[in-house]
């Protein structure tokens, strides 16, 4: 099962980072990967058992994925697993952790794993998907850092 980890240090509190990441009404302000992000089934805020839908921008296929929160421990960690997604994915799960380094900086770590289908083509498909994920997740974390360090701190 392919997996990956990407980390970045952000000059913001773990609480501010956690709250922004899981605030779906603000997600498109900073997340360049998505063109849609919303909570489902009438949920007002993210929490364990809450399902969300994220739709990628068209440059990476415009694919939609529904995930359910399987852990939600503010401000340190939240995890999701796919409940419905594009045909290409058999499984997908991700965890994002915030570790306070000091009063002004936090280490953000994004871990993911996935499996594609059909299984007999995984040896061709999964390395490509993993490269795309690595690039897109890195860009998302850089955008999060830029948003928090530049846009929010000006207010």
Exposure pattern of 2-23 as b/e (b: 16+ CB <10 Å)? eebebebebebbbebbbebbbe
User: Would the pTM of this model clear 0.75, i.e. be above it?
Assistant: yes
> What are the φ and ψ backbone dihedral angles of 42, each rounded to 5 degrees?
75, 5
pLDDT band per the 50, 70, 90 thresholds, residue 8: very high
Q: What is the pLDDT of residues 22-80, one digit of tens each?
A: 999 999 999 999 999 999 999 999 999 999 999 998 766 678 999 999 999 999 999 99
Which residue's structure tokens are 């994915």? 89
- Sheet with 34-39, side-by-side order of all strands: 3-10, 105-116, 89-102, 77-84, 64-73, 51-56, 34-39
Per CATH, domain 3-154 is 3.30.450.20: no
User: Rounded to 10 degrees, what is the CA torsion of 86, 87, 93, 98?
Assistant: -20
Q: What is the pLDDT of residues 75-96, one digit of tens each?
A: 999 999 999 999 899 999 999 9
pLDDT score, position 60:
64
Which residues, in sequence order, are bridge partners of residue 113? Answer: 3, 93
**Domain locations along the chain:** 3-154
Going by C-alpha positions, the residue among 109, 97, 69, 68 that lies closest to residue 85 is: 68
pLDDT score, position 153:
59
pLDDT score, position 62:
75
């Amino acid at each position: 099962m392919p997996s990956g980890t990407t980390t970045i240090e952000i000059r913001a509190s773990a609480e501010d980072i956690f709250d922004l990441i899981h605030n779906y009404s603000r997600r498109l302000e900073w997340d360049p990967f998505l063109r849609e992000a919303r909570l489902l089934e009438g949920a007002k805020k993210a929490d364990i058992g809450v399902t969300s839908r994220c739709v990628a921008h068209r440059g990476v296929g415009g694919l939609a994925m529904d995930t359910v929160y399987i852990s939600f421990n503010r401000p340190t960690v939240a995890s999701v697993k796919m409940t419905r997604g594009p045909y290409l994915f058999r499984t997908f799960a991700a965890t994002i952790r915030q570790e306070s380094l000091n009063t002004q900086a936090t280490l953000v770590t994004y871990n993911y794993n996935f499996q594609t289908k059909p299984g007999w083509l995984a040896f061709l498909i999964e390395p490509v998907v993993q490269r795309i994920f690595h690039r897109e997740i890195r860009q998302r974390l850089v955008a999060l850092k830029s948003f928090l360090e530049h846009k929010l701190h000006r207010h």
